């Protein structure tokens, strides 16, 4: 087992990474509360696979273990579904000694964390991510949120988990499309922070898609280490943490414009990274050969490298609804060389040219 620490003072926590962790009682000893309740929040896809094992692992640590099973999909990351979690908590008369357990992917993790941040003004929660995307990215760092029809992840809170348990064995239950979606976030970490890791991915991308355990554990550990270091320096995304959103300005526009769930988050980020790299080249920040390496790695990961056929004006409208923007200016995460990133504005003409070059019609 490998362990990564997120150093946040008295809110520091560990990320445990290994196969077989989910069903082990000792995985959760650090968050035990023998007089408290545990609420497992999952969805209709993941709960039948893993909820029984998680419940059995939690029973030694809590007075009772409850479940709340939500519908599956990005389309349900909304107020109505969030209220199902609150209803489960209230009906069971859960108090502040309750710990929520997010069992699933990024949607479940974000919603469970937001519910924990809100319920009784804040109760603990634990991330038990079962998708690659969640294990390498969304389960770490305490960003929690739901979507709104006018913008993705615009309603939420920073609320750090007490623990992250990343059982890489759960990735074997994922369809190939979900693995590819997770690889977008893996590639992102190399592109913005570690050129050596990016080169490692070029060598190991086929092994990752084949779910080779050693490669998966290495990728998860390296991504978590990168993100943990950034979060420790900038917990609330007021500075360098925004760089973790490489590809996301374009990606969120794709998700919103297509309707949440039409493209997986990672698919949208994959295409978004390709466009962001192209903008970087057009601004003289990135060598064209490095942009081509990124595009090829995204393609080899099984991700789209061209945009959906949304009108150019739609991208402009959706990109103006982004948490990184300031004073009405759209700010993009761009590559200042491979393995380095920066946050800045870009001329509309440059962005439009890149969007057109990647499939956005006028």
Residue-level pLDDT at 261: 84
- What are the tens digits of pLDDT across the range 180-232? 999 999 999 999 999 999 999 999 999 999 999 999 999 999 999 999 999 99
Is 198 part of a structural domain of the chain? yes
Is 147 part of a structural domain of the chain? yes
- The pTM (predicted TM-score) of the whole model is 0.90
Whether residues 161 and 14 share a domain: the answer is yes
Spatial CB neighbours of 147, under 8 Å, sequence gap ≥ 6: 74, 77, 78, 153, 154, 155, 260
Whether residues 8 and 128 share a domain: the answer is yes
Whether residues 220 and 255 share a domain: the answer is yes
Q: For residues 263 and 244, what is the distance between their CA atoms, to the nearest angstrom?
A: 20
Question: In terms of residue numbers, what domain contains 136?
Answer: 2-173
Percent of the chain past pLDDT 90, that is, above it, reads: 88
Question: Half-sphere exposure of residue 244, counting CA atoms within 13 Å on the CB side?
Answer: 26
Whether residues 151 and 213 share a domain: the answer is no
- What are the tens digits of pLDDT across the range 65-94? 999 999 999 999 999 999 999 999 999 999
User: What is the domain-level CATH number for residue 62?
Assistant: 3.40.50.1970
Whether residues 101 and 166 share a domain: the answer is yes
Mean pLDDT of 268-280: 98
b or e along 218-257 (b: 16 or more beta carbons within 10 Å of the residue's beta carbon)?
bbbbbbbbbbbebbbeebebeebbbbbbbbbbbbbbbbbb
Q: Is the pLDDT of residue 326 over 80?
A: no
Is 144 part of a structural domain of the chain? yes
117 and 102 in contact (C-beta within 8 Å)?
Answer: no
* Total structural domains within the chain: 2
Residue ending a domain, among 151, 173, 195, is 173
160 or 329, which is more confident? 160
- What are the tens digits of pLDDT across the range 234-271? 998 888 899 999 999 999 999 988 988 899 999 999 99
What pLDDT band is residue 323 in, cutting at 50, 70 and 90? low
Residue ending a domain, among 149, 173, 197, is 173
Residue ending a domain, among 173, 198, 218, is 173
Whether residues 81 and 183 share a domain: the answer is no
- What are the tens digits of pLDDT across the range 22-47? 999 999 999 999 999 999 999 999 99
Whether residues 180 and 127 share a domain: the answer is no
Whether residues 194 and 319 share a domain: the answer is yes
Is 362 part of a structural domain of the chain? no
Residues labelled as active-site residues: 121, 143, 185, 227, 237, 241, 245, 248, 252, 265
Residue-level pLDDT at 149: 86
């Amino acid at each position: 087992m490998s362990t990564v620490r997120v150093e946040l003072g008295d809110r520091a926590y560990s990320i445990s990474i290994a196969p077989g962790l989910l069903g082990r009682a000792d995985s959760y000893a650090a968050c035990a509360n023998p007089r408290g309740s545990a609420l497992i929040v999952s969805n209709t896809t993941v709960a039948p696979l893993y909820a029984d094992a998680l419940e059995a692992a939690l029973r030694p640590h809590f007075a009772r273990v409850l479940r709340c099973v939500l519908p599956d999909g990005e389309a349900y990351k909304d107020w109505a579904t969030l209220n199902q979690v609150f209803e489960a908590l209230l009906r069971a008369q859960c108090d502040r000694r309750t710990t929520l357990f997010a069992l699933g992917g990024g949607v479940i993790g974000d919603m469970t964390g937001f519910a924990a941040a809100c319920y009784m003004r804040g109760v603990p929660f634990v991330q038990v991510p079962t998708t690659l995307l969640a294990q390498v990215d969304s389960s770490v760092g305490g960003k929690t949120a739901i979507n709104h029809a006018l913008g993705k992840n615009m309603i939420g809170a920073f609320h750090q988990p007490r623990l992250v348990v990343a059982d890489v064995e759960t990735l074997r239950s994922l369809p190939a499309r979900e693995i590819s979606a997770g690889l977008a976030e893996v590639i992102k970490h190399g592109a913005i922070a570690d050129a050596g890791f990016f080169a490692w991915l070029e060598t190991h991308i086929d092994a990752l898609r084949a779910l080779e355990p050693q490669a998966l554990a290495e990728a998860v550990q390296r991504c978590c280490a990168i993100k943990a270091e950034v979060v420790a320096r900038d917990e609330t995304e007021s500075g360098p943490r925004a760089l973790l959103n490489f590809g996301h300005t374009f990606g969120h526009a794709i998700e919103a414009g297509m309707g949440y769930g039409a493209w997986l988050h990672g698919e949208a980020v994959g295409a978004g990274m390709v466009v962001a790299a192209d903008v970087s080249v057009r601004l003289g920040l990135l060598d064209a050969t490095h942009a081509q390496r990124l595009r090829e790695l995204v393609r080899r990961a099984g991700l789209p490298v061209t945009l959906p056929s949304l009108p150019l004006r739609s991208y402009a409208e959706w990109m103006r609804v982004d948490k990184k923007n300031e004073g009405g200016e759209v700010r993009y995460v761009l590559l200042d060389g491979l393995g380095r990133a920066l946050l800045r504005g870009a001329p509309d003409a440059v962005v439009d040219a890149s969007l057109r070059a990647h499939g956005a019609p006028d």
